[in-house]
Amino acid sequence: GSVAELETQIEIALELEYWDKAVAHGLLEQADHITKMLGKMSHSLKQKTSNPESQIANPNHG
């Protein structure tokens, strides 16, 4: 997906010496951290929407 594309671009930029290994490593760590956060959020939202007593507002429900 998009994360793999981002990681590839970071690796290419490193190979082309646009930045050093420390910068590339930091960017890869940030991408990994954000990916994990989004995964947890997605999982949480799926659980809430599958729960009939969800606290998520339903605009079609009065």
Q: What is the pLDDT of residue 59?
A: 65
Contact, 56 vs 42, CB < 8 A? no
* Cα 49 from Cα 60, distance rounded (Å): 14
Count the neighbouring beta carbons within 10 Å of the beta carbon of residue 10.
20
Q: What is the DSSP letter of 50?
A: H
* Cα 2 from Cα 31, distance rounded (Å): 10
Question: Degrees (nearest 5) of the Cα angle 25, 31, 28?
Answer: 15
Encode pLDDT of 4-60 as tens digits: 999 999 999 999 999 999 999 999 999 999 999 999 999 999 988 887 665 556 667
